Amino acid sequence: MPPELLAARDEEKREQTLERQRMWYVACTRARDLLIIPHLPEASSQSWSKILNLGHASLPELDLTGLSPATALTQPQPVNAQTAELFVDESRRMAAAAPALSWRVPSTHDRDRTEALEPSARNIDDAFEFVPPIGGGRVRGIVLHKLMEEFLTGELDDNDPACVEDRAEDLLLELKGLEGAASAPDPDPAEMARTAAATLKFADVAGLRPHLVPEVPIWSNLGDGQFMAGRADAVAVRGKERLAVLDWKSDISPSRDDRSGHIAQLKDYVETVGAPKGAIVYMSLGEVVWVQPHTTTSIA
């Protein structure tokens, strides 16, 4: 231990002792008619009772003989007149008064509530060429979402490809450290940087970019003990008007069920936010699917 640290700890201990002595002084001088000090001979030397020598040996013991004995009040106990029928009725009323709360989290993609929809979608750019990424999966999706968040917050400049690639590599290393080694090949930082930057250039996304707020928490009371919790990837807000909800998807080959789940999830967010529409942005495919909240079809 360095001498400076030892001295600092000794000083801290001295100050704590003085503070505890001061507290004893305050406590003892607040008594006006009678001060009773407990005697704890077996207490630890570090306890509050051993901070000061309170002179217990010279103090008279507290004499309780002059006090009148306590009188126990006995009250008749009520007769339990509860019957099986009454118990059932009370149980029913209690259950009705305290309904169970249930949470709906759209991101879990509950198949029971997913609508089987067939959205029509188009490529953002006729020249968009899809190249299957290496190491596509959950880690790649997390990195892409984080890059999009930092683009929208201004922490990352999408016009600096080298910086974006370095950031993607840093995020990948952090995730690998948290989740351990994976059997699948690592995603390519350069590919993730290109994919995220290209997403911002999609016409539908670029038009809303000045109004996009990333990572918006969404909470809703649906009534009857039903609640919803989620997080929208981005919400387009202009003043007090909510223009749209955007959901980034890193899927490279989403199935029909996957797409239906994505649409159902987005509809929940759009209705809760109160926006007129929402878009599922398939970043890897260069595809944007627009969804209306009260219809079963979507427009590209």
Burial letters for 241-277: b for 16+ Cβ neighbours within 10 Å, e otherwise?
A: ebbbbbbbbbbbebeeeebbbbbbbbbbbbbbbebeb
3-class SS of residue 99: coil
pLDDT at residue 295, rounded to an integer: 54
pLDDT at residue 111, rounded to an integer: 36
Nearest alpha-carbon partner for 135 in 89, 93, 97, 190: 190
Return the HEC string of 30-87.
CCCCCCCCCCCCCCCCCCHHHCCCCCHHHCCCCCCCCCCCCCCCCCCCCCCCCCHHHH
pLDDT at residue 234, rounded to an integer: 95
C-alpha to C-alpha distance for 222 and 113, rounded to whole angstroms = 15
Take residue 247 and report the two structure tokens written for it: 């959901």
Give the CA distances from residue 121 to residues 42, 288, 299, in Å, rounded to whole numbers and listed in that order: 80, 7, 7
C-alpha to C-alpha distance for 124 and 284, rounded to whole angstroms = 11
3-class SS of residue 122: strand
Residue the block writes with tokens 């370095």: 166
Q: Is the dihedral of CA 169, 175, 177, 183 positive or negative?
A: negative
Which segments in the chain show pLDDT lower than 70?
Answer: 107-136, 177-184, 294-300
pLDDT at residue 112, rounded to an integer: 31
pLDDT at residue 179, rounded to an integer: 55
DSSP 101: P
pLDDT at residue 128, rounded to an integer: 42
Q: pLDDT digits over 122-154, tens only? A: 444 444 444 445 445 788 889 999 999 999 999
3-class SS of residue 245: strand
CATH number of 102-299: 3.90.320
Cβ within 8 Å of residue 4, ≥6 positions away: none
What kind and span of H or E run contains 153? Answer: helix 138-153
